[in-house]
Structure 1
Amino acid sequence: MNQTRSLRFLQHWAKLMDSQFRIPGTQIRFGLDPLIGLIPGAGDFSSFAVSAVMVMVLAQNGASGFVLARMILNVVIDALIGSIPFIGDIFDFAFKANQRNMRLMMEHYEEGRHKGGAWKVVVPVLLVLLVFVALLVWVSYRILVWIWGLIQ
């Protein structure tokens, strides 16, 4: 897949995850991310996985280490706060990490700082983040089980 097609593909996914739908009669837009996030554990992990793949493709298409660090920070914030039951679901409607990352990448291209990939930075960070998000999902699950036990 060439670079232009890759970026258009990612723009499509960013829109689908963050702003594909609009609440009728308002300017409030949302995507699949907050909807998927309603599924305890699996939803947050799925959203993280999509964001991680997007960051990896952007790295492959030449994002600098600085831009990638900012993108990864967006994904971390989305994963951390998004994993908090109820509060995270509301947060997912507003934060839109994937669109933030696409905006960063497009600004990066427009400024002409396209210098090649940054895999040495991204892959280890994403692996650590993956383990961290999996741990957050597990902790969220255990909290929900504990709350369910209290209710019964």
Structure 2
Amino acid sequence: MSPLPAPLSSADSATLEQVRRLARQLDTSIRLPGGLRIGWDAVLGLVPAVGDWAGALLSSYIVLQAARLGASREVLLRMVGNVAVEALVGAVPFLGDVFDAAWRANVRNVRLLENHLAAPTATQRASQAWVLGVVLLLVALMALAMTLAVLTWSALASWVSQT
């Protein structure tokens, strides 16, 4: 049985409320026709080249505050992963902007932080599994890329030797 988490100090409670407000501003503060909600992060993403990086910079503030509040390394890695996915996919013109509005990395990260503060051990275990899954996926993608490179070079060498 894990010990109950310590109650937050008033300063930490204020910090948690501040990151909640920032996440809402970045991910859900603008209501569109039809009830769809987006935030300023999606709007910033419309600015070519710098918009997604500006959004990632604002999102990193939430991650930094989570570290200050004592989030585990695994939870922080997961939060950084959420921001990285949003920034990288968000950099793809148009489709990335749609993804940006749907992914909502900041709201996800605040939820992770709240879960960690409420049940640190369970959240850390879930985050460890997520980080392991991401690492395995990256290894598989690298193996696939290497295989495709070898096959391409082999086909090219075969074609050159026939001519």
Q: If the length of structure 2 is used for normalisation, what is the TM-score?
A: 0.65
Q: Which has the higher contact order (CA 8 A, sep 6+)?
A: 1
- Deviations along 1:13-69, one digit per CA (max 9) or x if unpaired, are 000000012223x33111101111111112111101011121011111111111111
The answer to whether residue 120 in structure 2 is matched with residue 100 in structure 1 is no
Give the distance between the partners of 1:88 and 1:34, measured in 2 at CA.
9
Alignment of 1:1-152 (within 5 A): 2-24=11-33, 26-113=34-121
SS at match of 2:71: coil
Larger Rg: 2
Give the distance between the partners of 2:120 and 2:91, measured in 1 at CA.
36
- Report the alpha carbon displacement of residue 112 of structure 1 after superposing the two structures with TM: 4.5
Structure 1 unaligned blocks of 5 or more: 115-152
Moved more, 97-106 or 83-92: 83-92
Aligned residue pair count: 113
- Report the alpha carbon displacement of residue 109 of structure 1 after superposing the two structures with TM: 1.0
Give the distance between the partners of 2:16 and 2:49, measured in 1 at CA.
29
